[in-house]
Structures are given as C-alpha cells and as structure tokens.
Amino acid sequence: MSRVSVLKGGRSLERQVSLRSGARVEDALERLGHQVVAIDVDLDLIARLREARPDLAFVALHGPDGEDGTVQELLEILGIPYTGSGVLACVRAMDKVLTKHLLLEAGLPTPEFFAFSQTAFRDLGAADALGAIEERLDFPIVVKPAGQGSALGIKFARTAADVPAALVAAFSYDSRVLLERHVEGRDLGVSLLAGEPLPVVEAVPRDEDFYDFEARYEIGRTDFLCPAELPAAVTERAQELALRVFELLGLYGFARVDLMLDSAGELYVLEANSIPGLTDTSLLPQAAEAAGIGFDELVGRMLELAAARAPA
Ligand SMILES: Nc1ncnc2c1ncn2[C@@H]1O[C@H](COP(=O)(O)OP(=O)(O)O)[C@@H](O)[C@H]1O
Ligand SMILES: [Mg+2]
C-alpha cells in the first residue's frame, strides 16, 4: 500500500475532464488498497504536497500546466515520483509544432503545416503570406493552437474568408498557431501502455458535426469503435507508428497518439498526448479494456511504472 496524491482539476480549460479522470482514478486506487489524498491543484499545490508527503503522485491533469511539464518539474523538485512522462517528453508532446518538426525530422508522416506566433502577424506582416499558404495547403485548412487539447480552438476553414476568424479563435488559446493540411478520413487513436501499443480506437462522430468538439465528451455523441475495424496491415502500421512516436518524443509509461487514416490508406500523425483522458468515455481506458486490462489494473500498472522510474 502506498500513499498516493491524485493531482486533478487545475485551471486549464480541460479542468472538467481532469476532475472526471481524477475521481475515477481515486476510486480505483482505493479499491487497490492505496491511501489516497486528492489535490485539486491551485496556488497551494506545493504546500499541500509537502503536507501530504505522498510516496507517489498520480497526475490526472490535462492541458497546459498539467500535461506540459510544469507540474512534472515541480514534482521533480520535491522529489516525488509521478505517473507518466518526464518533463522533456511532456514539453515535446504538448507543443504540436515541436512534435511535428520532430516527426518530419524522423521521417514520420504528419500533415503538411505552417506555424506562426502572434508576433509574426503583429510585427512581421505574416497575414500577407496567407494567400501563399492557402494555395499550398488547399481548403479546408485546419487551424489550431500549438498547445491545447480536447480540440479546443480548432477550426476548419473552408474558404480564405474563414481563415482570419479561425486564426483569431486559435490565438485566443495560444500565442502560436498552426495551419495544417486537412486529411479527409478516419480519426484513430493508438494508446500505449508500458511501451506497448493497445488496440486501435476509431472515433466516429454520430452526427458528422465535427465542428462541435464538445460532443466527444458527451456520452453517446461520438461512437468509439475498439478495436477499430481496419485491415490487419493498417492496424499494425498504426500501432508501429504510434510506438515510434512514443519513443521519438521520449514518452514514458503511457500515452495516446492521434492519427488520421485517409481514403488511400495513408496514415498521418496529428499529435501525441502525454496524459490522455481517463474518464469513462476516454480512449485509453477503452483500448486497455479491449486488451483485457480493466480500469483498476490499468491504474495499478501506471502506478507501478511510476515507481519503477523513481530515482534511487
Ligand atoms: N489535419 C487534420 N485533418 C483532419 N482532421 C483533423 C486534422 N487535425 C485535427 N483534426 C480533427 O480534430 C481533432 C483534434 O485534433 P488534434 O490535432 O488531435 O488536437 P487535440 O486533440 O489536442 O485538440 C482530431 O482528432 C481530428 O478529428
Ligand atoms: Mg487529439
């Protein structure tokens, strides 16, 4: 039995998802016989961790601060072992632009893109380059903030007239955005546990309204098929790609890699999530379930992996 602090909530826009992930993890940890101290992370995080003196921290945070290496850095300073990836991998995975540059460098497929900071528009007249970018990427163009999750701030611009508003929306989430080639196809997620790819999940929006990303967290509005019905070769390639991304970014313990499969059977990596959702509609728990790993066992494995990485 260990004393485990579950870090959840926080101030990110994914607070509600994190609270749900956290609550579920707490229940599992209690069933596994651990002593649980839940912490809704806030200004007093350090004080509360010092008071709780946990053997381990279970990081059930999503989005900026929780998933981008910030909380991980604080846990390193306090000498508290924690679940999931270390600081550097979190930094790499949270930043879609950095991830995509690393993918390209490693020769892994990712949709073509251009990335800009707000200052490029403010100080360098980047808006004048939009025409050339639009010509290169074709419509629709996907506009997204570099560092955000749960599809927040993502817009599909159908025409040049849609691009400015999409950029404004994306810039409201981050000071850097990317414009990305749209991949028409199927939305796949490959979760990994202990460096092993789990069965592929396909997310199928029920009403085809993929602009309404809120839908993905509402039970019944997105169908998740697991294992996804794919030719064996595609499944194998998706899992192999996900594993290569996991290793490339230096992820540890568990993660989820999001991909698109186009009609020609080509796979493209969109991003990696260092702390994927653990709610009852989330993909990683579903993929684990399909591999015969129930939620409690999953949480137990995550904790064991954290302990195994703990510094001597
Ligand atoms: N280039 C793209 N082509 C087609 N669909 C995309 C593209 N980028 C994102 N999407 C859609 O938006 C969803 C969220 O995008 P993603 O890059 O995974 O960001 P996040 O999950 O962090 O919000 C994807 O699962 C996919 O449905
Ligand atoms: Mg995603």
CATH of domain 184-309: 3.30.470.20
Q: Can you name the residues that pair with 118 across neighbouring β-strands? A: none
Among 270, 271, 283, the mutation site with the greatest number of ligand 1 atoms within 8 A of its Cβ is 270
Pair 244, 251: CB distance under 8 Å: no
Q: Which of 26, 8, 3, 15 is nearest to 295 (CA)?
A: 26
Residues of the chain with CATH 3.30.1490.20: 112-181
Dihedral sign from CA coordinates of 27, 303, 238, 100: positive
CATH entry 3.30.365.10 includes domain 3-83: no
Cα 301 to Cα 170: distance, rounded to the nearest angstrom:
36
User: Higher pLDDT residue, 150 or 88?
Assistant: 88
Quickly state the pLDDT bin for 220 (edges 50, 70, 90). Answer: low
Least confident of 126-135, 142-151, 158-167: 142-151
3-state SS assignment for residue 8: strand
What pLDDT sits at residue 213?
52
All CATH 3.30.470.20 domain ranges in the chain, comma separated: 184-309
* Contact yes or no for 33/1 (Cβ under 8 A): yes
Question: What does the pLDDT read at residue 141?
Answer: 95
Distance 292 CA to ligand 1 centre (A): 28
The per-residue pLDDT for range 26-65, each reduced to its tens digit, is 999 999 999 999 999 999 999 999 999 999 999 999 988 8
**CA end-to-end distance (rounded Å), the chain:** 19
Where in the chain is CATH 3.40.50.20? 3-83
Reported as a pLDDT band with limits 50, 70 and 90, residue 210 is low
H helix and E strand count, the chain: 11, 13
Task: Please give the pLDDT value at position 142.
Answer: 95
Which residue's CA is minimally distant from atom 2 of ligand 1? Answer: 182
Point out the residues that are catalytic: 14, 150, 217, 256, 258, 271, 273, 277
Q: What is the CATH number of domain 112-181?
A: 3.30.1490.20
**Residue showing tokens 């137990």:** 300
Residue type, 288: A
Is the pLDDT score of 310 beyond 90? no
Position 206 confidence tier, pLDDT thresholds 50, 70, 90: confident
CB-neighbour burial class of residue 70 (10 A; exposed 0-12, middle 13-18, buried 19+): middle
Strand 176-181: give its sheet, edge to edge: 113-117, 176-181, 141-145, 155-157
Pairing of strands 35-40, 3-8: parallel
